[in-house]
Amino acid sequence: MLEARIAAWQGHERDYHTDFRWVSLEQISEQFPFHTGFDFNSIREAVRASERGKRLRGASTISQQVAKNLFLWPGHSFIRKGLEAYFTVLIETLWPKERILEVYLNIAQFGDGIYGVQAAAQRFWHKPALRLSSAEAASLAAVLPNPLRLHAERPSRYVIERRDWILAQMRDLGGAAYLRALESESRLTR
């Protein structure tokens, strides 16, 4: 958020403002699935693609995104990735899964100056994050690879296809029931 604000100031964009509203996990629709830790298969595929000279693509899990967005700078370097791995291990060790998801959903960028699901839900659909439908939640998730180029409120064919894939994954995983089961399991292990 600070980086975007500084970039706007340096670019003399006087009308730029950050839209950010923190909400607790209980105030966010149960339609958001999540992933934990590291996705080693995706990381391996990204490294192999890079070795073949292809553009480096993302392979970060939610925990890695939280580590990067909270503690690190943007960019692609092995030093930053190493620090990201360190912070990810700390986050995974010290925070319950619900906290990781809550922080992620409150700091993720969903558009130019739009941070967190509450701000996105209000801006795009004029309602609180708690009232998002499955399709709206999936639309927000679909833009996360590039929220400055992809738009949840006016989705391209690519965003629609990603949204539909995410909805299918939610159905296959059991959607909200899956999240409730993880939450119950987490409470038992605390």
pTM of the model: 0.66
DSSP three-state, residue 153: coil
Q: Two tokens at 3?
A: 């980086």
Dist. CA 112–CA 149, nearest whole Å: 9
Q: Which of 141-145, 156-160, 177-181 has the lowest mean pLDDT?
A: 177-181
Dist. CA 82–CA 101, nearest whole Å: 22
What integer is the mean pLDDT of 150-162?
94
pLDDT tens-digit readout, 26-73: 777 665 544 434 444 544 565 566 556 665 555 578 888 899 989 988
pLDDT tens-digit readout, 77-113: 889 889 999 999 999 899 988 899 899 999 999 999 9
